[in-house]
Amino acid sequence: MMRMPETRPYHHGDLRAALLAGAERTLRDRGATALSLRELARETGVSHAAPGRHFKDKQALLDALALTGFERMTRALEAADDPTLAMEERLTALARAYLGFTIDNAELLELMYARKHDPDVSEQLAAAVERTITPFLRLVADAQRRGEIVEGDPERITLHAGATLHGIAAFTANGSLPPQDALDSVGEVVHHLLHGLRPR
């Protein structure tokens, strides 16, 4: 009796993860315009209809990629946040984690921020964006309680500090600032943020 060749079916979660990993590779190597559900199916070894069980179209795939990016960024920031550190050291550690993520994931970051500002952004993605801000908000609130920084709206203070860090990330992404220089300058940038540029 002839035996049918064995196949290795994907479990529900495995195919989704494999498609996302393949999509991120394509994003990194060839950009978002090169992404195709049909091509991802071929590369993953499943039927061209199989990705439709997880992503109804390319936009859904891009949203899922952006979501995983924000989730990974949050994990990196949470891992770097140490409330036992002094304010300047703590902010430097968070800033270095943020810049490290942006340097390692430049193409993904571009997609993340494009989806973040889309007027049709999903509630799930909007919530993931908010979670990336939480470690910085927590640090600012702690420092205000201890009288280490000025009073004021923690979200506004976090926005100003974040704009500085995102500017450095953008300079790194467009080639104006070498990645290692950006990482090496984090301590100096944080020092200027906390103490200003006036001589003391």
pLDDT digits (tens, 9 = 90+) for 76-96: 999 999 999 999 999 999 999
Flag whether the pTM goes above 0.95.
no
**Per-residue confidence band for 13, with pLDDT thresholds at 50, 70 and 90:** low
What is the pLDDT, as a whole number, of residue 3?
A: 42
Conformation bin of residue 177: beta by default, left when phi > 0, alpha when psi is -120 to 50: beta
**Per-residue confidence band for 192, with pLDDT thresholds at 50, 70 and 90:** very high
Please report the domains of the chain, with CATH numbers, ordered by start residue: 9-56 (1.10.10), 57-195 (1.10.357.10)
Nearest to 64 by CA among 31, 72, 50: 72
